[in-house]
Structure 1
Amino acid sequence: MINVVIVALIAFVLERKGIVKINFVWIMVALALIFLYGVALFNGGKWIPLNDYFTDLQWNWGGKIAAILLWVLALFALCLSQKQFKIAEAGFTFKQHHGAMIPSLVVIMFFIVLQLLLSYTLGNGPDYDAEELWYQATMPGLDEEPMFRGVLLYIVSLAIVSSRINLLGAQINVAGLLLVLLFGLIHGLMYNAGEFHFSLMSMSLTGFYGLILLWLRERTGSLVFPILAHNLVNFAGQFV
């Protein structure tokens, strides 16, 4: 939760400087959803014990499926509580913004090449099996994108209200950038066995990847390309 505290403190500093306006009701909703996401991800294997039935499984399928069910429930709750809410506002649409297709495909190709180069430079060579390939080709995008670039982005944008800047054709707000920071911190700052562990490389890299995925989401107005990009990048990185 230290990751969330850091991002929340930055948000309050920005409010004091007049850069954003904070809606505390939506802040509490966002914090609750982030907390539940962590619970689902790390405890989902107990609730959906696929490893008990498929003993060869090594990856967190149960946790990811629980996290997917959480964003489905959160989206359903938004539909029930907000009469004017349309799921397309949170990116749940196949419709793409006009003129977004070609630049988005170019960015995805760049994204994949970047991942291949980094995996080749920093990795220890190919090390995968069929389960890992299936997992990386499906779970990361279906879990993290609808949550971070979908439901959470919509809620945090209501909680932390700001103007938007045009970043290469994508309209980016402060809420989106703070979620990028949170995305990086989740991967780079961890608490385990009574100690904090921080990796600047992991935080910077996943934060930059999060920015690319945010750009795809805002440029297209849809989660289709972020989901595809996330899964393709993770999948391709296993081969080098």
Structure 2
Amino acid sequence: MLNQLLSPLWIMALSFVVVWVVAKYFTVKINVRWLLVSALLVIFHSWAGAVGQVLAPFGVMPPGADWGSRLFSLLFVVSATLLFKHFSKTLSWTQFGLTFNQKAGAVKAALGVLILLLSIRFVLAVLLGGDDGVMSPEELLYLAVSLGTEKEVFYHGILLYSLTRSITSSSYSILGVPVTFAGVLSVGIFALDQSVITSATFPQFHWVSLLSTSVFGFGYLWLRVRTGSLVWPIIVHCSVVLFSQFL
């Protein structure tokens, strides 16, 4: 609970430092209002998960596999997205990646990213050891559906949109896909969320997790921009997480 309450504060503090440094030495334009909106999204997303963990033992959510945390976080994401749509009538679902329409070549790109990330995950398991191997039906369902779906809809959906409004910068083509600083920052926040542990109010970093999660997060981001939709990033993310349980 303490980790989920304090970690987003540290994450956004580090993110603000990074944004300040980049703005100082590179040509980027910062929208402070939208940057604060992005910070609030990260903080309340994490806190929504903490609320879910608290309520789960009392029968409000099914026990086990952290269902409460994921479902409350997803509820926050859906609510925030609807709120954005309410206050901006010109917004389309496509801007959040919530569309089944795919850009040309999406399937080929998705299969390539899936094979690459599964290979990296396998190598990491060989070098560092696999997961705990606990594969109850509930856990497999949780990993196959909930975890990747909720994270993609947040980090590469509403948060990516908000960060794109926050930071205007040049884009760099990576295998034909334009990647901006806002996109890279969303990957950094995603990686920090998986890697920062708060103990006695001070953050501790799991550096191996930070680096590996950054690689996977960048793969999901690339696929999100390449396909123009969250469909394939969700499928690939869930597949990678599920594959990890068999290592």
The 5 Å alignment of 1:51-62 reads: 51-53=57-59, 57-62=63-68
CA contact (8 A) 2:61 2:67 kept: no
| Distance of 2:131 and 2:180 partners within structure 1 | 38
Taking only the aligned residue pairs, the percentage that are identical comes to 29
Moved more, 194-203 or 88-97: 194-203
TM-superposed CA distance for 1:17, in Å, is 2.5
Distance 1:109 1:124, change over 3 A: closer
- Find the residue that maps to 2:46 and give its secondary structure: helix
Distance 1:215 1:15, change over 3 A: same
Structure 2 residues not aligned, in runs of 5+? 1-8
1:127 pairs, out of 122, 133, 136, with: 133
1:40 aligned onto 2:64: no
Aligned to 2:30: 22
1:136 aligned onto 2:143: yes
Moved more, 90-99 or 146-155: 90-99
| Distance of 2:153 and 2:119 partners within structure 1 | 24
Any idea what the Cα deviations from partners look like across 1:119-177, whole Å, max 9, x if unmatched?
A: 23322566113222111111121110000000000011001111211111221110010
Aligned to 2:114: 108
Q: In angstroms, what is the RMSD of aligned CA positions?
A: 1.9
Q: Size of the alignment, in residue pairs?
A: 238
Moved more, 11-20 or 66-75: 11-20
Q: TM-score, normalised by structure 2?
A: 0.90
Structure 1 residues not aligned, in runs of 5+? none
Q: TM-score, normalised by structure 1?
A: 0.92
1:156 aligned onto 2:168: no
Aligned to 1:234: 241
Any idea what the Cα deviations from partners look like across 1:8-29, whole Å, max 9, x if unmatched?
A: 1111222223421111111111
Distance 1:84 1:96, change over 3 A: same
Aligned to 1:181: 188
| Distance of 1:136 and 1:143 partners within structure 2 | 11
